[in-house]
Each structure stands twice: as C-alpha cells, then as structure tokens.
Amino acid sequence: MKPLLIMTAVLEAGIGIGLLAVPSVVAQLLLGAPLDAPVALTVARVAGAALLALGVACWLAASDAQSRAARGVVSAMVLYNFGAMFVLGAAGLGPRPVGIALWPAVILHAAMTVWCVTSLFRKSANPFSGNPH
C-alpha cells in the first residue's frame, strides 16, 4: 500500500497546489474554460486546500502503510477518486467542449479507484488477519 499512498500524495498535493496558485489554469485544462467569477476562484482554492490536505494525509500514512489509519485514508481515497471520476466524466459528456486534460483525469481517477480497492482487499495489507506483519 505504500507505493499507492506515495503516488496519491504526490498527485493530490500537486493538483492542490495548482488549484491554490492558478485555479483558472487548472479549470481551463480540465473543463476548457477559465474561472472568471470570484466565487468560482474561491471554491477552486478551497478544493485545492482540500486536495493538498489529502496529499499530506497520504504522505504521512505511507510511513505506516499497514496501519488501520492508512487503510482509512485509502478507503477515503476510494470515495474521492470514484466521485472525481464520476463528476469529471459527467462534465465530459455534456454539450460543451472540454479541456485537454479532462479525459486523462477521468482515466487516472478510474485507475486510482481500482488501485485503492485492490490494495484494500490484499491479504498482506489486512491488519485484521491476525498476522503481525
């Protein structure tokens, strides 16, 4: 589970920093339109802070990847990745053009969802199995 947590930490922190620093550029890449309204910029920056927090949680959980806390973080990432895949995919199916990064982001979130789920179901990663390590 450690490689998953490290990869997730890097990806989410990177996008989080991008949304905090240049939210309109990230929106342009994903959705094909900049964020013009101040309220949209604020919401995007809050999302950036949340993604940065997820990245930090994943990074810290990677140091004890077999713990229940790490499994909790990966479980939360299943929900996040599935939700992001669904929301971004739905945006891509709408009538408006999308940004160049939208479909790669949907595919990445789908792959991360699968990776998270498979990591949770591996026997060696199960802290409830009774094996000390």
Residue-wise pLDDT for 74-101, tens only, equals 999 999 999 999 999 999 998 888 999 9
Cα torsion 32, 35, 37, 43 to 10°: value is 120
Tokens found for residue 20: 């905090």
Closest alpha carbon to 111 in 89, 88, 82: 82
- Answer yes or no: is pLDDT of 128 > 70: no
SS3 content of the chain, % helix, strand, coil (to 5): 80, 0, 20
pTM to 2 decimal places: 0.85
End-to-end CA distance of the chain: 13
CB within 8 Å of 103: residues ≥ 6 apart: 92
Widest distance between CA atoms in the chain: 54
At 11, which amino acid appears? L
**Confidence band for 124, pLDDT divided at 50, 70 and 90:** low
pLDDT tens readout for residues 38-51: 999 999 999 999 99
Q: Say which residues have a Cβ less than 8 Å from residue 5's Cβ, sequence separation at least 6.
A: 58, 59, 61, 62, 65, 70, 73, 74
